[in-house]
Structure 1
């Protein structure tokens, strides 16, 4: 019998109002690998093992979650994206420890106003 519990996230949908503008941000500013566009108005990216789908809202009450992207160094990601004109809600800062790992986080917004977390971990 096949396992029914989720094992990992395969794809995340991010609601955007302008797919082309968001596609440019995710591809050219964040540097995610663009995979393809698909009708009606969807764009797909690869981020590690997870696929990201950008699309317009499917209904009037569609909410949005914050996505936390793993980066090697939150400060370096902040510096690079700031140089490209990305505004940040929170500069890189330590948010806690997970065992022997210190977790740092910076928060910015994409071209559509969705919050993005840029998270890095280092041994302490």
Structure 2
């Protein structure tokens, strides 16, 4: 009998660390428009297409470089999302809107975590 090689099937959840839970929940809920599944002072979870996206409280200065993360959100209309976030005061650190296969825009959350939008064009 041939034994199958174990494989990763999909991403189940993504968790990022934040220093101010209230400020971060406001950003992800009110600026990005994510729906809160559950929340307490230590962890807040949002649902995104079958993946749990969570925020976990960690005091400022307690993180190390091994905890850095970049998250890119798939969108259908990147310019509309850029306009929406800029209207709410979000500054973009990069916009690459003329790439051959996708459009990309990067911004930061209140803790400086790098986030992005990707619109597939090909």
TM-score using structure 1 length: 0.83
5+ unaligned residues in a row in structure 2: which ranges? none
Aligned length: 117
CA distance in 1, matches of 2:96, 2:79: 6
Q: What's the counterpart of residue 65 of structure 1?
A: 69
- Answer yes or no: is 1:86 the counterpart of 2:65: no
Per the alignment, residue 114 of structure 1 pairs with: 113
Higher strand share: 1
Deviation at 1:93, TM superposition (A): 1.8
2:51 counterpart of 1:47: no
User: What TM-score do you get using the length of structure 2 for normalisation?
Assistant: 0.84
Structure 2 Cα separation of the partners of residues 11 and 2 of structure 1 = 25
